[in-house]
Structures are given as C-alpha cells and as structure tokens.
Amino acid sequence: MPPEEPDPEAVAEEQRRLDRLRRLVDVTCAVLWQSELTRRQAEELVAAARREALGLFPDKDGVFELVIAPRFRRILDERWPAEPGRVVLPFPPRLRDG
C-alpha cells in the first residue's frame, strides 16, 4: 500500500509558519545587534520571541532550546557579557499539563 499523500494545504500552512519563525528569529537577532538596549531589555525581547515561536510551534520547545536559543545566547553574551556567577538567560522547558 503506497504512503498517503500529504495534504497540500497542511504543507503550505507549515511552510508559512516556518517562514514566519525564520523572519522572527532574523529580526530579533538584528534588533539585538543594532539596538541600544540594556541586558534586561534584550532578555525580554528574546523571551517575547520565544513565546511567539512556541505559539507557532507549541510542542517544539526542545527544538527551540537546541537550535534557536544558542543563537540568542551567543549574541547576548557578546553584546552584554554576563556578570560572574549569573545564569545567562535560562530557557526552562515549558511545563506540560497532565
């Protein structure tokens, strides 16, 4: 029995969400590099980007932590070096119901 064909509408919707996520990450990185923010403001911007990303892909927090969070951390650490002993922008896993 041949595999089922993917739904073209579902594939297109997934692509739209991926494109939006890519733009979100790119714009967030550009703002982090180019804006005169405090470390706290930068962390708040990253937290907002994380919320938006998880809104687009609710069950992919692990992927965010592995792929996107390190990019943001690297920028934050280069622009605003962490104070000794301070945990740098923790991205705790989302708590799941149930």
Indicate whether 65 belongs to any domain: yes
Length of the chain: 98
Q: 84: which DSSP letter?
A: T
Contacts 24+ apart (CB under 8 A), 44-49: 46/72, 46/76, 46/89, 49/24, 49/25
Provide the residue type at 94 as one letter: R
Q: How many domains does the chain have?
A: 1
Indicate whether 68 belongs to any domain: yes
Indicate whether 95 belongs to any domain: no
Indicate whether 94 belongs to any domain: no
Stated pTM of the model: 0.77
Indicate whether 47 belongs to any domain: yes
Query: Residue 53: which domain range?
Result: 36-81
pLDDT digits (tens, 9 = 90+) for 18-76: 999 999 999 999 999 999 999 999 999 999 999 999 999 999 999 999 999 999 999 99
Indicate whether 26 belongs to any domain: no
Indicate whether 30 belongs to any domain: no
Indicate whether 11 belongs to any domain: no
